[in-house]
Chain A
């Protein structure tokens, strides 16, 4: 992405966020909104600077950005959302085992075959057992609960 485009997006995003917060806070009392209001004004000003810089600046490239395979990246995000949703039903540990096994298998470089699934299953089992021992048995930290567990 060129730095002009990045500036433009960052500028517009900060203005949009400031306006959203400004709109949400329009009915607040002065004491409640004085601090956010200062920040909103500041964000709009900085956003405008970035937009102007994006429109008039030179077209240099970001040199330190890695290329992202968004197919894999979105898979992680969607799988995480499905995992969180499943926790509400199957409980944390069952969902964690299934999530760790299936996603590590799918992302693995070993190919999507049965031996690879076995390795991922073992990995899922070991990590889930380690989490159970650490959080449930030793630290007694509450973990998300589902309908079943």
Chain B
């Protein structure tokens, strides 16, 4: 194995492959930063280009685009409060407040370094733990997926610690909105309100662009701010962030990356779920969880390391079992099949050179991402020096093209504008757009797996057995309960400590 890893490293470091990795990273970062253009779209668009290359070089380029796009989403999340890809929703929670506080450079560098760290951890999982993790993925049935999503939804309790009722209402509204369209169990149209095009359902990305981006334009233009945020280039930001991550975020980065890699291997569960769970866990284990959401490096580090770690994770079932763990992995699998290579355990023996070169190249790509990303940050951050009257209208144009591009549908554009208004007026009355987006993202997965689990329970004759006796389900239930009650317990404990300290001072 080590020989193959060494040979893979030599292959990955060939000048042509390095060039493809840098080109893929640059393209991927730009695609990810554009709201509405997803990593899947970026990789799919570039697949035809790889047909003229040898399969190894083609895969290296696709892997670089995938990594770049998932990281690139954080740029828009930090600079304009618009997640470039759904994986960056949790990055807005702290990235945007940091940007507003004039710390855009710190946020962007934290996102870059955390993404690279997460990407490397995910790749190491792929390199050394592929077989056992692939077997674990096979143990995830509908009840386990249902509880995984409920665990993800429990984030709402931690996210809206100051106003849990409105957080829960926002999450439930998001879940309810996700039921519009065809019912996943019976295929019956639901909640179209007499408007037939709604049968196609509410696509996550236009809704998210509306909630985060269009509503933000209304706020920016309405508030008569001259610039989005005060921004002055900060030459020492990179090293300051390196020191901060090394000093305070080692645990956060490791935990979030492991969460990302494990969530990534589960088919259908991607960076959006991983980053939300990792953010929630970081907040839960912090000595002062109320710091989260106010603009701290730890929040950005948790979200970004987790979503990039899903890349390695999502490739595990694709390479080991021939089951793609994400839409991008499915596209990459298609590219492999076109080249006559069938994914599965045999790929490590029959096409070992290709498999190991590709995996090792992902390590190289994540190192290169720090260099490429640092250069691009210098340019992207300058958007903050453009007056809001120009940035705002440009965001509207980008929002429209991004919403349309998903399904080539003008209905999605109208949905985006509608959710922009919902996001703006909702936040005026204290509703949480993050919780709403979480509901819209997780809703279809929750409902589909709930339906399957109920059907299983019907066949099995016991709801209890299906939902509450599987070991993985039990672990997820315990984690969910802990996730909901820990913020409350910690706040009580801190309350007691404060009281004791005050009593001590008084006596």
Residues of chain A touching chain B, judged by Cβ–Cβ distance below 8 Å, are 1, 3, 6-7, 9-10, 13-14, 17-18, 20-21, 24-25, 28-29, 31-36, 39-40, 42-43, 46-47, 49-50, 53, 62, 65-70, 72-73, 75-77, 80-81, 83-84, 87-88, 92, 96, 99-100, 103-104, 107-109, 120, 123, 127, 131, 134-135, 139-144
Contacts and interface: CB of A to CB of B under 8 A. Distances in A.
A73 B221 contact: yes
B408 interface: yes
Is the contact region of chain B dominated by helix, strand, or loop, or is it mixed? helix
B396 A13 contact: no
A101 to B, nearest CB: 9
Contacts of B347: none
B150 to A, nearest CB: 12
Interface residues of B, number: 63
B389 A36 contact: no
Given A76-B218, A140-B45, A143-B404, A43 B190 contact: no
State the main secondary structure of chain A at its contact with B: helix
Contacts of B102: none
Nearest to B455: A31
A99 B429 contact: no
29 contacts: A1-B428, A6-B428, A10-B431, A17-B173, A18-B176, A24-B191, A32-B186, A32-B188, A35-B179, A36-B179, A39-B176, A46-B165, A46-B169, A65-B428, A68-B223, A76-B217, A76-B222, A77-B218, A80-B214, A80-B400, A81-B417, A99-B396, A104-B393, A107-B389, A127-B394, A131-B401, A141-B401, A142-B408, A143-B404
B219 interface: yes
B1 interface: no
B430 A62 contact: yes
A84 B221 contact: no
A141 B393 contact: no
B172 interface: yes
B289 to A, nearest CB: 18
B390 interface: yes
B185 interface: yes
Given A49-B165, A68-B223, A14 B173 contact: yes
Interface string B294-305: 000000000000
Contacts of B400: 80, 83-84, 87, 144
B372 interface: no
A103 B173 contact: no
Given A100-B394, A127-B397, A143-B401, A6 B173 contact: no
Nearest to B187: A32
Contacts of A144: 400-401, 404, 410, 413
Interface string B142-185: 00000000000000000000000110110011011001000101
A24 B223 CA distance: 37
Contacts of A20: 193
A76 B37 contact: no
Given A92-B401, A96-B397, A108-B387, A76 B392 contact: yes
